[in-house]
Structure 1
Amino acid sequence: MTDGLSWASGWTEEYRPPSKSAIFQARVRLGSEPLKALFERVAEPLGGRDMPGVWLAGRRLVAIDGMCLDVADTVANDGHFGRPGANKGEQAAFPQARVVALAECGTHAVFAAEIGAYSQSEATLSEPLVEQLEPGMLLTADRGFFSYALWRKAIGTGADLLWRVRTDKSAPKPFRVADLPDGSWLADLRQTHSAAARRAEPLRVRVIDYTIDDGRENPDTYRLFTTLLDPDEASAVELAAAYVQRWEIELAFDELKTHQRGPRTVLRSKSPDLVLQEIWGHLCCHYAIRSLMAQAATHSGHDPDRVSFVAALRITRQTLAHPGAFPP
């Protein structure tokens, strides 16, 4: 990038790239907030009205999930982020930052994120994140996210929900209200842990129970809760298939962690604020690449999933390395 600045400014003879120390000092002066503000200002869903894989029942399909990133093993990072435990009371080799994000399933565009310490659960970081939802979105989430409070907060945004829930002894207990012709059923959710909770207005949901024929003798049973109550709008089979698209956010995390970050498995920054700056920078970079990919897919009339992230990343890096390839 500094080579590009030299070429674009015309200082080819006078300009000297800054040293590593100068870049580090500039990063310290900048801090993490401008990178966070940049991401929050530009990141938004990318899928157009006719883009394949983006919509279900007229709603934009999005997903929420989290990932952990190893950060440099320093006293400051350890104190701020903490680290997971390992076997026999030992701790992991590196502290970890936890990132929870919202991503558009059809384009892999991460459009909102919260960054916290390893000790903060995904559910905790999700509370401010769901406020970024909007009417016309359909949010998918895995079974680790459900709670009555988070469900109420999410539906309060006007978005629709399609969440997997647990089916063990501690799972939420829906009270059956009516059977629907597609095999799903309507139910009310009531909290029963206190008198005040029992008096609260019940949550009406549609329940979809299904198994996947994967050749096992005892396949797992999946249970989904959704706010889409009308089977004519979206059938149980369509919703079960749509829930599979939640895995697209896992692929987006893999793009960022495995390919974009490159061979370095540990973020290099040695202080918490610069770790945050580095993570926000990675999120900005991933969004920029995914924006270019969405534009290319729209121009060619293809599904964004048919465009290779690795190829797009390679082309982007080549462009930065050869700034003379495009006009100033």
Structure 2
Amino acid sequence: MSAPRQRDVPTDQRPAERAALGALTRAFPPELVDQVLLDSGRIEQGGRLLPARVVVYFVLATGLLGGHGHPDTARLLIDGLTREPWWPQGRSLPTGPAIDRARQRLGPEPLRRLFARTRPAPAARSTSAAWFRDLRLVALDGAIFDVPASAPNADFFGHPVGTTARPPSRTTGRTTAVQDQIGFPQARVSALVECGTDTVFTADVGPLPDHESALEAAIYPALTRGTLALADRGTTDPATWHAARAGGADLLWQVPSSLRLPITARLDDGSQLAEPGRERACPAQVRVIDYRLDTDPRHAPPHRLLTSLLDPAAAPAAELAARFVQQSRTDAALDHLTPAQPGPGPVLRSHHPDGIAQEIFALLLLRHAFPPARTTPAVRRHPTIHLIPALH
């Protein structure tokens, strides 16, 4: 199974794309690109057809131009770079294999560092959805992306697995279920997203078999004091909880309501205190908030949140639940990271894992530089929250 064939379009038919590519050097100035190349040890000696600086712009251009092929992207990019004072005049157009070799030399680290250097500042306090009182609201987000079915991608990222039934055995007459690899290899991405603005301010890329919590551990250092981190698939694993809190951030994580916790006190705001016991169900001293929504199906289980904010006066249970529900009803930022592409197959195009990481960080950088237009959401009735003071 191969990646879809990309199309090449004559450059004289692409004025909009040329204008967009011209904005790359304004959004990511050459001096900044050179600094991240220096920091990551990728500065090259002169003379190469594709210097590292140009390769960074090329990877960004592939994300900007969607499904168009490497030759078309290179023509458009070089057409724009010839207007830059630092571009050597008369340099020839690189071939596809030369581009692939240059991308392998570059690796993903410069794009990762450029993403970290260009993350936007926190939202203003006037953006109410981005704040809970004095705490900046962020959410853990995750997504899975198809990647081309090359041997390096399959070995590193892995395939999704499906269960199929084998025909009955001639000796036993029994049907057996087996697990088979299906579809394209897939990369897993975890990120921290600012609530209210959908700004992705830190992210990491890893193989599909990696558990989501393992990949999230790489982004926990971005959780610092003054932040409240929301997660709709939280965990009660003590090591994970403490890793997320190591920088001083507070947590508001959803866990299964069936989880039995050692409740030590019931508080006036309808929440409860729980502390670690012999069981691992409680990661630390936490407040437990149980609630139902008037929009829940009749026999649906209740919702349960754990938070490190222990003072009900500073963080009432009803307000925390309302903020969590508000965020859970918004679209995940990573769901709209890749551009739409006609036809089947992955949008990401590299046949090597380092190239896939490059492309994902390039898409995140482009989201910083050219944020999508924010539309006014459809007016939806906010569900009524009913706290459950003593679930178990």
Report the TM range for the smaller structure's normalisation. Answer: 0.7 to 0.9
SS in 1 for 2:154: helix
Do the aligned residues in 1 keep the contact of 2:141 with 2:332 (CA within 8 Å)? no
Alignment of 1:204-219 (within 5 A): 204-214=285-295, 216-219=297-300
Shift of 1:106: 1.5
Residue 143 of structure 2 contacts residue 335 of structure 2 at CA under 8 Å; is this kept in 1?
Answer: no
Code of the aligned partner of 1:128: A
Identity fraction in percent: 40
Q: Deviations over 1:48-100 (max 9, x none)?
A: 23223110021000011311111110111111111110131221211111111
Matches within 5 A, 1:130-145: 130-145=220-235
How do 1:1-328 and structure 2 match up within 5 A? Answer: 1=21, 2=77, 3-8=79-84, 18-88=94-164, 89-168=179-258, 171=259, 173-192=260-279, 203-214=284-295, 216-247=297-328, 250-257=331-338, 260=339, 262-263=341-342, 265-290=346-371, 306=376
Q: Distance in 1 between matches of 2:104 and 2:340?
A: 21
Q: Which runs of 5+ in 2 are unaligned?
A: 1-20, 22-76, 165-178, 378-392
Report how many residues are paired. 284
User: Aligned partners of 1:287 and 1:132: how far apart in 2?
Assistant: 17
**3-state DSSP of counterpart to 1:87:** strand
CA contact (8 A) 1:100 1:125 kept: yes
Task: State the Cα deviation string for residues 248-298 of structure 1 (Å, max 9, x = none).
Answer: 7853112203xx3544634110011111111111111122223x86xxxxx
Which structure has the larger Rg? Answer: 2
Other structure's SS at 1:143 match: coil
Preserved CA contact (<8 Å) 1:58 1:136: yes
Q: Which has the higher contact order (CA 8 A, sep 6+)?
A: 1
Change (3 A) 1:60 1:239: same
Cα RMSD of the aligned pairs, angstroms, is 2.8
Q: Give the secondary structure class of the aligned counterpart of 1:203.
A: coil
Give the gaps of 5 or more residues in structure 1: 294-303, 308-328
Q: Which amino acid aligns with 1:31?
A: G
SS at match of 1:286: helix
Structure 1 CA distance for aligned equivalents of residues 127 and 298 of structure 2:
39
CA–CA separation in structure 1 for the residues paired with 2:298 and 2:262: 29
Q: Is the 8 A contact 1:63 1:249 kept in 2?
A: no
- Mark the CA change 1:146 to 1:240 in structure 2 (over 3 Å): closer, same or farther: same
Range that drifts further, 138-147 or 66-75: 138-147
The question of whether the paired residues in 2 share the 8 Å contact of 1:187 and 1:205 is answered with: yes
Alignment TM-score, normalising by the size of structure 2:
0.65
Q: Which has the higher helix share?
A: 1
